[in-house]
Amino acid sequence: MEERVSELDSAQKTLLEMINGMSEDFRVTLDVVRNEIADVNARLSLTMRAMESQAPAGGAISVSKVKVPEPKPFCGVRDAKALENYIFDLEQYFKATNTVTEEAKVTLATMHLSEDRELRSQFFPENVEILARRKLRDLRHTGEIREYVKQFAGLMLDIRDMSEKDKVFYFFEGLKPWARAKLYEQRVQDLTSAYAAAERLFDLTSDSQDVRRNQSSSPRRNRNSRPSSPKAVREDECPSKDRRSHQSSTGNTSQRPNN
């Protein structure tokens, strides 16, 4: 029994020594991992500092792996769709190049304006409205009415403080007399309705031109299709006259005495 107890004591001591050895090894391994993590953190902080020091002053970070296409220059055409496309391209370019500050955005936007001197002067608000009002004063309906509506709508984008009544008045004044009279008959009160009424006038004029062409071509068809025998027409038109003449001739022969 005593031998068995002594064996158990020795086994317990051996197990404790093994546990202590494993704990020591674990502590050493844990210290190594901690040192490696600290080293990685130090390297990461150095890398972040280096990237911040190399970034441009405007806030844009260059993308070396992917070449971002630059937005197409805006030439200042008075087209709302073209302006929206230009703004959309700029926003996508800012996201791709990580352009953050407003100063950098304005600089990049002005760099992609063509016809520099004239166009950049037009982008000042005080000049935009003055130029638009001058063009509105000289705008006249000389060609197709759709083109006039398009030009007038483009000028209205740059004039913000004009009342709806004045817009309708200037729109009417630029029209040709016949178109102006038609719109006055419809009693248009707002600019949107005036645009729609003018578009309908274009459809009516195109339809009337088609009718006029058909009418001008119809006499030619009538002249080509007239009958080749006018005598037959005359006989058909006057059957009673021929019948009376025939009866008179038969009557005379019947009343003639026999020799």
At 55 the pLDDT is 58
Worst-scoring range by mean pLDDT, 66-80, 117-131, 142-156, 243-257?
243-257
At 70 the pLDDT is 81
Average pLDDT over the chain reads 73
Half-sphere exposure in the Cβ direction for 63 (13 Å, CA): 13
Q: How far apart are CA 181 and CA 172, in angstroms?
A: 9
At 77 the pLDDT is 66
At 246 the pLDDT is 47
Q: Which amino acid is at 114?
A: S
At 233 the pLDDT is 43
Residue ranges per structural domain of the chain:
59-123, 125-205
Tokens of 81: 């769709």
At 232 the pLDDT is 43
Q: Which residue reads 């004044």 in tokens?
A: 173
Report the percentage of the chain scoring pLDDT > 90: 8
173 contacts 161 by C-beta, under 8 angstroms: no
Q: List, as one string, the DSSP characters of 76-130.
A: --S-HHHHHHHHHHHHHHHHHTT--SHHHHHHHHHHTBSSHHHHHHHTSHHHHHH
Looking at the DSSP bridge assignments, the partners of residue 113 are 74
pTM, two decimals, is: 0.36
At 158 the pLDDT is 82
202 contacts 141 by C-beta, under 8 angstroms: no
